[in-house]
Structure 1
């Protein structure tokens, strides 16, 4: 049996901000779900919306020690707005709480530093919600479902500033800050190439030496950061251009920024540009804010969840707003039922779906959904994370397309990100654009943006190889008699719907799954499969998971009733050499007979 990465190790190994964690055996996955100490205590990290990163937990403990009442704990967020949303969720879900029980504290740079960073897009800040410790499970629901929580990189950065008393409680900032002018090397007259500020203005030689330094450079070097966070706005712009499709070359950031803004895009839509792309801290946060903004724009109306959903996508529709109509199969018969409801006068805010769905890789009939939306005036939101815009064009049938940039867009499994794209040709565009421009809050932390941009530079070149590798693995699995069903868009009964959206050079993606007839065969195969094994998908390396056990352990019967069996193993295929990858899967299949 080959287990490459031990239980609880980060994936990738020794990665401080890893997105996945190693659960290398079937028993380890069950042990994680059961809360067994041999698994839980070994975990160095976990998927960031399910596992509070240790750097975030350490900052929360510090805030609690300094600011909380007895029996209170803290949940941390990047903005005051997010903290208020969590506070409202707590009051709504735990109605025995009083206003005294839940406080919001905002933390900002001392005034001495705030004005120095006025030209920066995102000076360091965060907000804490202090609430009774017994309500942790309620606050954790908000954190997990919405993706509003603090980034681990932001937590590390802000914790260092807080410990140095450079970052303080906003309400008590005046008078709390001690003068910190930085190392002596910054207190000298600047060289000629540093003699102007970031706006090109001459620096007054008679000013305080601490004011003449590049304050971002001071903060970064003082606290050991070397990512050049002043580049974050340009990194975000480059990411937007890649998502828009008008930046497809693998180029350095400086070259990416000077490329024409509205070059030909792979989105195949005139009038579409990076101005219609909005970035979020993660994919679920993009979905949460899309649902929230649509409710603000059109009112509190039920939505539709179409097809077997990612777990938190459904929870957002159920727990925020007036609820949803759920079609778990996502079949043509479901659209027949929906059309009858609409014809009888029922009205809905929006239909949310994935293309393809996870983990069965089925595709909804977007063309028919789009026609119904036009006829009965509801909006359409499509999650294209698994299909990705180099394989499929779903924007033509949607009002908003959302995606998790954490996945294949990044590939390196070490940063979170998300996006929402507005369709400029959609009939709801003007309303949505107005709402987004009013409600949008950029909470993507600067360091995360820089890492995401760097990771995504070779996004285009990676996709073709991953598509080819996935097809080869799929062909092998389809031949095995112990496997009940292989799920992949190319061989799905819904392939026609995929092909309507598939681009001329597009493939069928890097995600597939296999359902075994017998649990013992699934276990033998999984335990002997020599790949990285843990949550998440879309990594540059192959990543496997007993997905239903991990995502739906408390509702296995419900999942099975919708055709998603507990014997399913999901594979996110990577960039390995094709022949070696196929042989890896062949050896695991051979272990079943052994």
Structure 2
């Protein structure tokens, strides 16, 4: 399988959410910032790599409202999300430099027809270039930056005069004492907005259906729609049977990414319950821990997610410590361990904290964690979509949880729908066969993990079916639920891990839950600067993570066998 370093995964996809890093050395080169890798990056995972279209839009913004030699911009879909970035930035830079950071807002031009099916504002934090590493943290952790499709739309609208600077937007963040270029006046070239929309989207994509697409997606996430159906039929579904009794799509909130769903869940709890520290339970996806550490009063981190950790938490609670909420994954990434949610729920009820569970790895068709959580979050970018060409996130409220009324009130007051119309249409289309895909992937993954488990070349297979926490996973499993499509594998030496990764003929890059099998040296990518820290929680830096796709079982078995043969060759040569 020929893979182009730095090319989109899947290939020939303009808005791909993964990028090809086909060798172990390429992954290390990426983390080290080596030119031979970085200069070939056509794209990347959107929270870590700013898409070239968005980079071009940011340059155009600065050209109009700032100094391109000294300044840059980071782009958000709303003033609220831009203010979060601006506030974070000025809290990290010298006080006498704060005035140089400002928010510039762009809105649809007055000539844009009222009631158009698709419009977009654009909120930009403009700031000195030397602070880019600070704003990048917000882009990565909060997951609220604009999507590449929105960027494409806004760039065209800006160039064609349908998106203009909001001159009436004058706040403390937007007023700058530093010299600014006066904005150039761009006039429309005579086309009307309807023509502009038609040329941008053509007849292939009915963005007027975006709100209906969002409704169908929310029904699927609530569990009231589990059939593989087209949009019209999805909208007619009125089943009251969902993940828990009484749930509806009104308990589901869409976000531009899974991490943004987590970020907003945390923000909501801070608003609901006050300035309390959080608990991060189990070895987490890296940005979850960063959110809890960088916003609010910090967190207690239990990286093993063990019963001993729960004993320690219980002793803290008995001693009078109080917490905002406990954030965990079921199962965790990359060791696929399942937390003891039933014991956690008892502690939460007794001592008064919320529970936020990230179900991305398992998905709600395999296990049902909602009855034990206050909020369940998920990255819809992954298996819910499958096509690796659109980002999305969801948050689901448990209507029976202890804080439901207050959490729901804050969500309804504070939530803003910044999920881009075009992205919603793609996500709805991609998710129509979600149920069938999950079933097939479950079966295939059990077959492949069994094969690897039997091989003496393999040191360890991490999969819920083989985990010491399997009883905890099984207690959450739906009647027809499986063990999911993600597993991790380790070998007896670094050289053997490299041979396996370099040889296996599947697509290689970050992300998971794709319709095609995808491999990544996950720990290298997620924790390159903290490998010893990861090792302290029994996370092997040489671990290879596999996300199984829709290929035929026999073909995948052959693919994995060839990779194992390469491991055997390394072992023999080093004997």
Are 2:132 and 1:140 equivalent residues in the alignment?
Answer: no
Equivalent position SS for 2:112: helix
- Correspondence for 1:88: 87
- Correspondence for 1:259: 237
Instruction: Give the alignment of 1:365-514 within 5 angstroms.
Output: 365-514=340-489
CA RMSD in angstroms, aligned pairs only: 1.6
Structure 2 CA distance for aligned equivalents of residues 367 and 4 of structure 1: 47
Structure 2 CA distance for aligned equivalents of residues 36 and 459 of structure 1: 38
Are 2:158 and 1:162 equivalent residues in the alignment?
Answer: yes
**Normalising by structure 1, what TM-score?**
0.91
Structure 1 residue ranges without an equivalent (≥5): 183-209
Instruction: Give the alignment of 1:161-200 within 5 angstroms.
Output: 161-171=157-167, 178=187, 182=191
Contact 2:160/2:189 (8 A) holds in 1? no
Are 2:112 and 1:113 equivalent residues in the alignment?
Answer: yes
Q: 2:339 aligns with which of 354, 357, 364?
A: 364
Taking structure 1 as reference, are residues 281 and 304 closer, same or farther at Cα in structure 2, changes over 3 Å only? same
Q: 2:274 aligns with which of 272, 296, 299?
A: 299
Taking structure 1 as reference, are residues 175 and 568 closer, same or farther at Cα in structure 2, changes over 3 Å only? closer
Structure 2 CA distance for aligned equivalents of residues 66 and 10 of structure 1: 31
Task: Summarize deviations over 1:1-46 as a string: whole Å, max 9, x none.
Answer: xx53121110010100000001111111111111111111111100
Contact 2:258/2:392 (8 A) holds in 1? yes
Contact 1:284/1:418 (8 A) holds in 2? yes
Task: Summarize deviations over 1:203-248 as a string: whole Å, max 9, x none.
Answer: xxxxxxx7xxxx5x43321335442211100000000011111212
Contact 2:64/2:184 (8 A) holds in 1? no
**Normalising by structure 2, what TM-score?**
0.94
- Correspondence for 2:71: 72
- Correspondence for 1:34: 32
- Correspondence for 1:150: 146
Task: Report the CA distance between 1:507 and its aligned residue.
Answer: 0.2
- Correspondence for 2:176: none
Equivalent position SS for 2:544: strand
- Correspondence for 1:242: 220
Contact 1:110/1:177 (8 A) holds in 2? no
Task: Summarize deviations over 1:430-462 as a string: whole Å, max 9, x none.
Answer: 000000000101010000000000000000010
Structure 2 CA distance for aligned equivalents of residues 492 and 573 of structure 1: 18
Structure 2 CA distance for aligned equivalents of residues 24 and 10 of structure 1: 12
Task: Summarize deviations over 1:82-111 as a string: whole Å, max 9, x none.
Answer: 111100000112244544211111111111
Task: Summarize deviations over 1:369-417 as a string: whole Å, max 9, x none.
Answer: 0000000000000000011000000001000000000000000000000
- Correspondence for 1:47: 45
Structure 2 CA distance for aligned equivalents of residues 437 and 591 of structure 1: 55
Structure 2 CA distance for aligned equivalents of residues 92 and 324 of structure 1: 19
Q: 1:274 aligns with which of 212, 232, 249?
A: 249
Taking structure 1 as reference, are residues 175 and 543 closer, same or farther at Cα in structure 2, changes over 3 Å only? closer
Q: 1:569 aligns with which of 541, 544, 550?
A: 544
Contact 1:91/1:97 (8 A) holds in 2? no
Q: 2:17 aligns with which of 16, 19, 31?
A: 19
Task: Report the CA distance between 1:335 and its aligned residue.
Answer: 0.1
Greater shift, 217-226 or 5-14, is seen at 217-226
Equivalent position SS for 1:255: helix
Task: Summarize deviations over 1:504-547 as a string: whole Å, max 9, x none.
Answer: 00000000001112000000111110000100000000000011
Task: Report the CA distance between 1:56 and its aligned residue.
Answer: 0.3
Contact 1:4/1:532 (8 A) holds in 2? no
Taking structure 1 as reference, are residues 127 and 488 closer, same or farther at Cα in structure 2, changes over 3 Å only? same
Equivalent position SS for 1:536: coil
Contact 2:210/2:425 (8 A) holds in 1? yes
Equivalent position SS for 1:171: coil
Structure 1 CA distance for aligned equivalents of residues 48 and 201 of structure 2: 28
Equivalent position SS for 2:4: coil
Structure 2 CA distance for aligned equivalents of residues 97 and 309 of structure 1: 37
Equivalent position SS for 2:167: helix
Structure 1 CA distance for aligned equivalents of residues 337 and 492 of structure 2: 20
Contact 1:114/1:123 (8 A) holds in 2? no
Contact 1:517/1:567 (8 A) holds in 2? no
Q: 2:124 aligns with which of 125, 128, 132?
A: 128
Equivalent position SS for 1:403: strand
Task: Summarize deviations over 1:351-378 as a string: whole Å, max 9, x none.
Answer: 0000000000000000000000000000
- Correspondence for 2:529: 554
Contact 1:60/1:76 (8 A) holds in 2? yes
- Correspondence for 1:530: 505
Structure 2 CA distance for aligned equivalents of residues 258 and 280 of structure 1: 24
Task: Report the CA distance between 1:258 and its aligned residue.
Answer: 1.9
Greater shift, 288-297 or 165-174, is seen at 165-174
Greater shift, 89-98 or 293-302, is seen at 89-98
- Correspondence for 2:174: none
Q: 1:10 aligns with which of 8, 11, 29?
A: 8
- Correspondence for 2:100: 101
Structure 1 CA distance for aligned equivalents of residues 100 and 156 of structure 2: 28
Greater shift, 365-374 or 480-489, is seen at 480-489
Contact 2:280/2:328 (8 A) holds in 1? yes
Task: Summarize deviations over 1:560-588 as a string: whole Å, max 9, x none.
Answer: 01000111000000010011111110110
Equivalent position SS for 2:448: helix
Structure 2 CA distance for aligned equivalents of residues 309 and 165 of structure 1: 44
Task: Summarize deviations over 1:289-326 as a string: whole Å, max 9, x none.
Answer: 11011101111100000000100010000000100000
Structure 2 CA distance for aligned equivalents of residues 72 and 242 of structure 1: 43
- Correspondence for 1:194: none
Structure 2 CA distance for aligned equivalents of residues 450 and 549 of structure 1: 34
Task: Summarize deviations over 1:141-194 as a string: whole Å, max 9, x none.
Answer: 011000011110000001001001111001169996756663xxxxxxxxxxxx
Structure 2 CA distance for aligned equivalents of residues 585 and 90 of structure 1: 46
Contact 1:524/1:592 (8 A) holds in 2? yes
- Correspondence for 1:335: 310
- Correspondence for 2:292: 317
